[in-house]
Structure 1
Amino acid sequence: MFHGGIMVSRLKLISAALFLAAFMQPAQAEPPRAVVELFTSQGCSSCPPADAVLVELAREPDVVALSFPVNYWDYLGWKDTLAHKAFTERQKAYAHARGDRQVYTPQMIVNGTKPCIGSNRAQVEDSIKEVTASQPNLPLDVTIKEQNGVAKIAVSETAMADMRAADVWVLPVLRTRTVPIERGENRGRSVTYANVVRGLKRIGEWRGGSAEFEVPLEVARSGADGYVVLLQTSEHMKPGVILGAAKSPGLY
């Protein structure tokens, strides 16, 4: 009976250890299939349906879905409370990189290369399928481990990794925000946003192979609920294809 009690205790300890190990694993066990960026505005009457689509996408475990509120509709009578000039500049840079110069809301960009109408869920899904047709997941495996107030970011190549160099970005993100809109085209509406980006911080450059990067958690979060790591190519200061991504705990 005594030995049986010891065995049961050991089994409990092993089970607890396995549970703890599983809990401490990175939030994403494998590279996501897509990063979807929504450029949206509280002053745009066509945007709330796209915001709802992004909320749905954010709940998919293999999609990194991000809201980038832009400021170029502020003149319509309502200043977007979440917008940032840097997000407008990012959207314009995408348009210059593609060469089509199409900047509109609601616009989604898939994996840094494929634009589509953000409110059209079928078109968004088709864009994701098109971008991932030759490779189901992003080519770089990015994991995050938080320890002693530091976010440790590990990058490793998968079998089909693109060997181009990539900038390493950390984006502070609010998990969700509901905003009552008092004026403008959406007057009287309350819109819920998911994974709202609050900044763009470049912390290094990946040049192939395995690599590690560190950033203080207070810098990564910057007062937000969590953060996203993106590895993205660039050419002549314009954003290109996204090679890897990971979400911290605390986000969809």
Structure 2
Amino acid sequence: AHEAHQPLLQPVLRLCSQLRDWTVLSAAISLLARLHNVLRDETSLELICEHTALWPSVVSSTSSYNIQLVSEHLWQLVTSALEYYPKNISLHKLLGDYYYVGEHYSAAVKQYLLAAVIATDSFTRPLTKVIMEDCVYKRMIKCLSQLHCHTQAGVLCQFLEEVDYNTAFKSFTESMCHDCMDTYYDCIWDVNILEYLIYLQNKKGNKDRAKKAIDMIGLLELNANNNEEIKREAANKRKIRFMQALVRQYVL
């Protein structure tokens, strides 16, 4: 709310800070997340949170609210909740969204990765769409691009339900790049991307890099004629390898 109303808010905020029950906590968090989205009014930068549909999608006078104050207290409530529910996947995703909206891209990637680590028990289980939705991957791709880790962004484009070839190819051609393509060849399973990399590296005269991509595309497990189970296993193995590499960089 507006600065003039801040003293009136303090008892409410103190009460929120003392919440422990998950049902009550999640309701309070969803209220602040909804209010944050309404005040910001940018669909592409919405915080994705459970139970936000419980709350009104409009407020009578947005000018009477201070979005910075709402944002700060949402952060306090989410981080406090994580102290009591450290393995709550939705909280990590929400905190990732919070950092994404605030353009703290490295912190956002860390939270999204923590959600994946927890949901897969440190990648001992497959990384399914139920665990990590396309909207999360798209935000991770944007974060990595903003961090000039364009190779990582390009590789992550494979994780989408429909591979985003335009973004992937554009990422691989970026000149200002803070990560190394050589590190991630064995994390690529999409044959179209490998074929593009062969073309790109040959065009640049990087014969050694082109050969690496050729070697990858020649692996039996990436054969286009394989059955769906073999293709899925090949993709899952490479997904896990790539996510573990990201965890080493952004989390550990």
TM-score (norm 2): 0.23
**Higher RCO, 1 or 2 (CA under 8 Å, sep at least 6)?**
1
Structure with greater Cα Rg? 2
Please identify which structure carries the higher strand content.
Answer: 1
TM-score (norm 1): 0.23
Please identify which structure carries the higher helix content.
Answer: 2
